[in-house]
Amino acid sequence: MSVLDKILGTKRDEITVLRSPQTRDLLRRSALDAEPPRDFLGALSATDSNLRVISEFKRRSPSKGELAPDLDPKAMALSYAQGGAAAMSVLTDQQYFGGSVADLQNARAAMSIPVLRKDFIIDEVQIYESRAIGADAILLILAAIAEDSLLMDLHSLALSLGMGVLVEAHTADEVERAVRLGLEVIGVNARNLADFAEDREGVAALASRIPSGVVAVAESAIRSVEDATRMAEAGFNAVLVGEALVRHPDPSSLVSDMAGVLVSQR
């Protein structure tokens, strides 16, 4: 069984609880009553040619173990925003990544940039939950959602709540699937979720498959300004950076340096 399969098994158990009629109705009402979300797509689509940085808050990962278990989400959010991050990504999965809903809420309360909930979303009730807890955007992983109809239903629901959506691919076939479906923000993850192996150069090669009108995001294995520059030169509009930032002594400066990189046209 792959790492992704194990994680999705846990998520299905969590969803069973969330889908009880009383809980689902409460989350839906809370989502509809929540304050308007911040503009995730707009934050990644500014007209200048600078690389957009999505700075991630992550305590641990299945592949690397503990990264920074004692991180303060408020302090990191402020540091990221001060460095010029376009958006922030917060892991909310507890079992595999050590995250929590409170991490997202505390981070969002500390600054004004959009916050992406990074989790393994496969059911509409998780989208209502995401909006209810304050997330401005969600992640949808193509490898976790085989049916196009389900993917587009989840995507449409998020948009109807005013949220942004980052759709994540790992292979050329998945990039082509995302492009065919007409999605606005496509991420390419260097980390294979089956075994968590990394392929940064494979990601760079896939940028050209994403149309120029789509926001392209390079994810994972970006640990330096040089790595970010390589992705920008390949034509990615944004990078999502986690491990390098949570381990850096001055994350604000690293964000600033990456945000100063210029993007080449695709």
Q: Would you name the residues annotated as active-site residues?
A: 56, 58, 118, 168, 189, 219-220
Q: Environment class of residue 266 by beta-carbon count within 10 Å: exposed (0-12), middle (13-18) or buried (19+)?
A: middle
DSSP β-ladder status, 238-241 and 185-189: unpaired
> Do 30 and 134 contact (CB within 8 A), yes or no?
no
Q: Which token pair is 177?
A: 């699937």
Nearest Cα to Cα of residue 55 among 188, 249, 246, 264: 246
Bridge-based pairing state of the strands 215-219 and 185-189: parallel
Pairwise CA distance, residues 218 & 204, whole Å: 8
What's the alpha-carbon Rg for the chain, to the nearest Å? 17
Distance CA 133, CA 48 (A): 32
